[in-house]
Every structure is written in C-alpha cells, then in structure tokens.
Amino acid sequence: MNTRYIRLGEESERTELVATIGFFDGVHRGHQFLISRVIDEAKRSGMASAVVTFDRSPRQVLQENYRPQLLSSLETKLSLLSKTRVENCFVLHFDASLAALTAHDFMRDVLCRQLNVKKLVIGYDNRFGHNRSERFEDYVRYGKELGIEVILANAYVPDDENISSSAIRVHLREGRVETANRLLGYNYTIASKVVSGFQNGRKMGFPTANLDVKRCEQLLPKCGVYAVMVSLKDTVEWKRGMMNIGYRPTFNGEDVSVEVHLFDFSGNLYGQELLVSLVGRIRDERRFDSLEALKEQLTRDRESANRLLDEAYKTDEDKINNP
C-alpha cells in the first residue's frame, strides 16, 4: 500500500482514483467490506483504489480537552488498512482549516482538485463536511457538478449483526472481548510502552509488565483479568500471558493500571513497546484478604488463560492469522 501524508492545498494527484473516505477506527469488518467495494470498482473502472483518512480523530480538533478512546492508533490503523490490499492511502492532516470545509468544498478542493478522485464510494451511514449536515443525495449532486460519480455502499450486516466502531466500543467497555473480536475480524490489541511498576507481582512469582496508561489513547476494556497473546513491537513471535486491568484493590490502588504477566518468560521489558492481543475474559477484578489468597487465584487464572488460548488456537494456522 502506498501511504502519503498530505495537507490541505498540497500537490495534486495525477492518477485517477476510486476512493472512500472515513476515520476507519479499528478497520473492522464493516470497513473491510466497504474497502473491498472500492477495490472491486477500481478494477472494473481501470483506475487505482484509495482510502482517504485522517491523522487524528476530528473530535480532538473540534472539542477542547477531548481524550480519545480509540480502537487503533494511527500506526496500527495503517497496518490494518494495508492488509485490505487497497493500493493507496492518503492521510490528511486534520486541523481547523479542514474542519471548516463544507462537504461541497471538501469534495471540490480535496477529492477533486487535490486527489483526482473520479468515483467516491460512500458508506451507508457516512457523513462528512462542516457540521456533517448533508446527506448522500447532496453528495451525488455535488459530484455531478465536480465530475465525481458517487456510489452508495450497502451496510454490511452478517447475521443481522450491527458492525460499527461504536458497537465495538460498547462491547469492550462491558468486557465482551470475544464479541468485539468477532466484529473486528481480529483480536483487539492494545499497544503501549512498558513503564516502571509496583513490583508486587514479582514477589508472588507473577512478574508483570506495566503498560503506560496515561499515554495510551486506546480504549481500555472493562476492568478484569484477560487471556492474552503478547508480542514486542516489530517482532513476529507471540507469547502467552494474562492481563489485569483495574485499580489493584488488594493493594489499595487509586489509579487504573494495566499489568501483563507473560508465561514462561524472563527478561527486562522496561521501555519497550508491547502489543497485547486480547483473546478472552477470565474474571472480574476483586479484592483478596491476603497475598497468599491472591497468589492462589493467579495460579487458577493462569490455568484458565491457557485453556482459553488452547481453545482459540487449535491449529498453527489460527496462530498465524489471529495472534
């Protein structure tokens, strides 16, 4: 996939494009279906396929003090988009000037003049432009004026199940990671750096890597214990583990923390970036009367995590396609 970072008004694209536009948070199965329509239309038309997305959530520009709870970082989103086999990805810098454009002016200045889009495939629920007030019929009218054919993509609703970034966030907030993973089409993965922790797990024989919560803009699922697969960034090996998200009630914690215990691993992970792939939920977080009681529960949690991971990865192909 050819990826270009662009700003409003920069050098124009000469290649004729079939494109779609959106933030594509999580690049879930609905997004994948939409992009497949773009690729198919591009092949039929003899043009190149493209995705137009943004380098940050529009709400970060439009709403002061907005803290994102994203399904994917920009880097992860681009990696997921590349797997769709779309040929081009244009990453627009989203700022106040871009936010002020009406849908008509965005189509004229960005899609038509700057990117040379000849066909625009629109998701059934997509809205863009200042105040997002226009509808599909308006985009069609603007397109006829600008020489852009606007095509409506049907909703992707397998088994009558709503697939959207909003629905996935709800499932994650309620701890239903298996459902979220099904809608995503892959396991929800958190990426963050390892920072210094509390060392309590090490004392019980369960050393943990503590993830930097403050700098992570991704949504944290409901507090509790999860079976996970873990990898160092830019490596291909995935290791089994379990993760606790919560307030460490046994130790009277006050702030949320994310602690990952890797099975059969010894080494220093401090300062490195981990990818933590959530496979299944084991239990709620709770307070224990003693460290011994907590240690016994952690031993049971490890057994539960291994059972969930055994079930999830029955074959080597499963491990390759969905770590």
Q: Which two tokens stand for residue 281?
A: 């939920």
259 is catalytic: yes
How many CA within 13 A on the CB side of residue 252?
Answer: 0
Catalytic, out of 87, 161, 259, 317: 259
Q: What amino acid occupies position 131?
A: N
Neighbours of 280 (CB within 10 A): 18
Residues recognised as catalytic: 259
